[in-house]
Structure 1
Amino acid sequence: MRLSTVILPVLRWAEGGRERWRRAEELGFHTAYTYDHLSWREPFRDGTWFGALPTLTAAATATGRIRLGTLVTSPNFRHPVTLAKELITLDDVSGGRITLGIGAGGTGYDATVLLGPGERPWTPRERADRFGEFLPLLDRLLTEGAVTHRGEYYSAHEARTVPGCVQRPRVPFAVAATGPRGMRLAARYGQAWVTTGDPKVVAAGGTAEDSRAAIRAQLERLERICAEEGRDAAGLPKILLTGFTPDRPLASLGAFVDFAGTYRELGIDEIVLHWPIDGTMFEADPEVFEEIATEAPGQLS
C-alpha cells in the first residue's frame, strides 16, 4: 500500500513552503498532492492560499524523487486547452513526476467566482455533463500534437501541445468520482480512481463502519462499471483521500495501521493524509504524523 500526503498551499514559499515539500520527500511519501482551488472553505477562505500549478512547479524544482499532483483539478475554473499546456510544462519541469487528480468539481467559492450577472452555478448534472466533455478533450490534448474540437461546452482550434508529456502516453489521470458517470470516465481514461468516502454518512452522523460500508459499495460499483467498459478493475489503483470520514487515523501509529489495514482489505491501494494544520479540521500531532510516514509502510508491507 502506498502512503501519500496533501500539502495545502497556505505557506509562503520562503516562509516554510519550500521546506514542507522537501520534508515530504524526506519522509518517504509516494506522492505529495495539493488542492487545486482558487480559495477554499473556512477557515482558509480569507487566509493565504496560492495557486496549485505554480506551487507544484516550485515543488518540482525543490525535490527530485517524490511524485507530485493535484487532488483535485476540476472544470470549475479551468479550460482543457490552457490546462493541457500547463501540465505539459509541469511534467517537463518535474522530469515526469506529475499525476493529475481530476473530478467534476462541486459547489462553493470556485463554482461562483467567475459567474457574471444573472448567471447561476452549475447543477450537479451540468457539472457531470461538462466533465464528460472536459476529460476526453484533455486526454486528446495531452496525446495529440494538434487538436480541433467543437463541443457543447469547450472548443479548441488547432491547439498545439508540442512536445507532449515526458510521461507516455501522457500525465496519468487519477479520477475522483463516486457516481456512475464519473466512474465510467475513470474506467475509460483513468490511471487511478479517487474517493473521499460518502459525505452523506458524515452528515447523518454515521460511524466508521458505516463509512467503510459506503466505500465498499463504491468499489463494487466501480468494479461493475469497469467490467462493462472491458477493463479489469484490479488494474485500476484506488486512492482514499482521508479527512472526510468518521475515522481518526492520525490518532496514533497503531490507529493508522489498523485503519490502513482495513482499507487495504477492501481494495484501497493508496492512502493520502493531510499534512497537519493547527486550528483546522486537519489538526493532528506532527510527531505522530511523521511517525506514521516513516514507520507505517514497513508494518503494512
Structure 2
Amino acid sequence: MTGHSRAKVLCVALAGVAMALAGPAQAKPKQVTIFTSLAGSTWYGIGAGMAKIFGEGGVQSNAELGAALSNIVNVVEGKGEIGLTMTAAVSMAEAGDPPFKGKIDKVAGLIGLSPSYLQIAVAKDDNIMGVGDLKGKRFVTQPKGAITAEVFSRTLKAYGLSESDLDLSRGSLDVQIDQMKDRHAKGMVSMASFPASFFSELANAVPLRMLPISDAAFAKIAADMPGLAQATIPANTYSGQGVPVPTVISKMVGVISADMLDDDAYWLAKALVDNLQAVRELHSSYKDLTPADFASIPGVRLHPGAARYYREKGVLK
C-alpha cells in the first residue's frame, strides 16, 4: 500500500470515529406549516414566532391563517404539521360534535400554552350590562369554524338566547374592530390571552365594558362543551375596566397528527423547549411558561414522540 493510500485510509477511519462519537444526525421534519387564526390575531403572531424558531433550527417553516376547529382537521388530513387550537375544540372533534362531520381520533398534543379567555366587549355607553342584554343588538362574532364563535353561541344558549335573537354578523378580527369603531356594532367577541393587544387599542378609541359570565351560566356552558374552566380577567386589564370580569377559559394548545413520525414530534417539542425564552416572548401571558406547562394538556393525549422528549426532560412521568 502506498503512503498516499495509507493516508487516505487513515482519514476515512478517523472520519468514521468522529461520526461515531458525534452520534447519528437528529431526525427533523422536512418542513413545518403552522395553522393559526385570523389575520392580525394574537394566534397568528404566535404561530409566526414559532415558525421563526423552527426556521432557525434548520426547518423551513411558515404560519398560515386558520381557525381553531379547521386547524384540527387540517393537521389530521396532512395539510400542515401544527394546528393552534384549544382543549375545548379537541374535545368537540373527538366527540364528532357539529360542525365536525364525524369523530376525529387522530389528533395528538404537542405543546400546552396559556389559557384563552372568552372576552365579550361592548360599547360602555350602550347600557349593555350582561349577555342577556344583547337580545336585538347589533353584534359581530367570528366566522363559523372559529372556536370563539362556537363558545359564544353556547354562551348565548346558557342565557336563554340564540344567535337569531341578535342582529348578528360575522367577520375577521379587523372587521370586528372596524365595526366597533364605526359604531356599526354594539359589541364583539374573541377568545384570546389577556391583555389582547387589539382590545387594548380598541379600548383607547371606544370606551368598553367586558361582560361577565355568571356561575350558573358557566355550569350550563361547561355541560355543553367539556374542556372549559372558569377564570377571571383582572381589573384594569383594559382602559376603563375597573372591576374583575369572571369568564370562561380553554387552554391554548398546539396539536399535530397522531400519525406524525415520533422523531419529528420529538424534534418539534425539543426545539420549543430549547428556545423557552423565545417562546415566552411571543406573548405577555407566556412570561412564566415552563416545560412542565408545555407537557400539560388536559384532556388531550400527547403524541408519543413529544411525550418521550418531555419524559427525558423530567417534566412528565
Higher relative contact order (CA 8 A, sep 6+): 2
Which one has the largest radius of gyration?
2
When normalised by structure 2's length, the TM-score is: 0.27
When normalised by structure 1's length, the TM-score is: 0.28
Q: Higher strand share goes to which structure? A: 2
